[in-house]
């Protein structure tokens, strides 16, 4: 079965889908995107993803290509046409097609919209049960990491470094302060059982899953601090874990070949993962509401 993509008003077999060579997303990374987990055919944290997409568009002064309702119709149709039960939907909006020049194009330039889907949502549960290894990498990204742009070369280089180091993720840090990971948010648990994650600033992307897990943790009675923390703190923490759209809650058991605590997944991370999985399993069609 051929995968179906939506590109600028048309549903096409993905192999036939094309964008214009002068699309600014292609030439300048002048675009934004979202990745949404689909669970049992419905989206997780959908309203949060749309809210962040609209914020990113606003920060880059890209006109919204359509209403949230119209975009939701397209996303639902892509899920349906691709028969996705467990998987992801990818949405990208670029500034549009214009002759190549660095300043924003003038006139009526219509934003480009691409929506695709794929089957499979993250690593197997057996990965979380064992925990994962991460490596520390210097954060070399630009100063507006809060905007989810398609300019991901530093993230790709960090992820490649992790792959070459046989690690699951790259833990990014600036001057010894952990910001996040290359494709997820980072957390630690102190010896006093306090959960710590970097505050929402321009230095990190405010993960939608991060926000949901934050609410779950507080509702469960955990004490949470949103503050900067150091790489040294992660190496002496009781637990370290990651959150993300497809990783859910992922325990970290090794940093740079050094075990975190006893080198086994921590009880807090496993508890929050179970709570997040219960949230996914409880999703209904109302998840599409925006």
Active site residues: 148
Conformation bin of residue 190: beta by default, left when phi > 0, alpha when psi is -120 to 50: beta
**For strand 169-174 and strand 10-13, is the pairing parallel, antiparallel, or unpaired?**
unpaired
3-state helix, strand, coil in the chain (%, to 5): 30, 30, 40
- Note the Cα 74 to chain centre separation in Å: 20
If DSSP codes are grouped into helix, strand and coil, which group holds residue 40? Answer: coil
Q: How far apart are the C-alpha atoms of 42 and 71, rounded to whole Å? A: 15
The candidate with the shortest Cα–Cα distance to 288, out of 116, 41, 3, 33, is 41
The C-alpha torsion from 59 through 65 and 67 to 69, rounded to 10°, is -110
Is the Cβ–Cβ distance between 181 and 136 less than 8 Å?
no
Pairing of strands 223-226, 194-197: parallel
Which residue from 256, 239, 260 is spatially nearest to 161, judged by alpha carbons?
Answer: 256
Contact 116, 78 (CB under 8 A): yes
């Amino acid at each position: 079965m051929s995968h179906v993509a939506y590109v600028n008003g048309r549903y096409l077999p993905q192999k036939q889908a094309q964008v214009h060579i002068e699309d600014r997303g292609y030439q300048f990374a002048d675009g934004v995107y979202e990745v949404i987990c689909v669970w049992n055919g419905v989206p997780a944290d959908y309203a949060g993803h749309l809210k962040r997409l609209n914020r990113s568009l606003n920060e880059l002064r890209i006109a919204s290509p359509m209403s949230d309702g119209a975009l939701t119709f397209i996303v639902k149709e892509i899920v349906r046409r691709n028969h996705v039960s467990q998987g992801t939907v990818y949405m990208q909006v670029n500034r549009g097609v214009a002759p190549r020049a660095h300043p924003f194009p003038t006139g009526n330039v219509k934003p480009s919209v691409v929506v695709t889907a794929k089957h499979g949502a993250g690593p197997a549960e057996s990965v979380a049960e064992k925990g994962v290894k991460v490596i520390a990498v210097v954060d070399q990204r630009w100063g507006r990491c809060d905007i989810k742009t398609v300019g991901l070369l530093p993230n790709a280089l960090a992820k490649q470094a992790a792959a070459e180091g046989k690690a699951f993720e790259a833990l990014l840090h600036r001057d010894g302060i952990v910001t996040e990971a290359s494709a997820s948010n980072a957390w630690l648990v102190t010896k006093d059982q306090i959960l710590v994650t970097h505050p929402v600033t321009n230095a990190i992307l405010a993960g939608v899953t991060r926000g949901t897990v934050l609410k779950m943790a507080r509702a469960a009675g955990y004490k949470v601090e949103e503050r900067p923390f150091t790489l040294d703190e992660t190496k002496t923490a009781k637990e370290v874990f990651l959150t993300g759209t497809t990783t859910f809650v992922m325990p970290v058991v090794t940093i740079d070949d050094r075990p975190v605590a006893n080198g086994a997944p921590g009880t807090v991370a496993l508890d929050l993962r179970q709570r997040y999985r219960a949230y996914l399993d409880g999703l209904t069609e109302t998840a599409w509401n925006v």
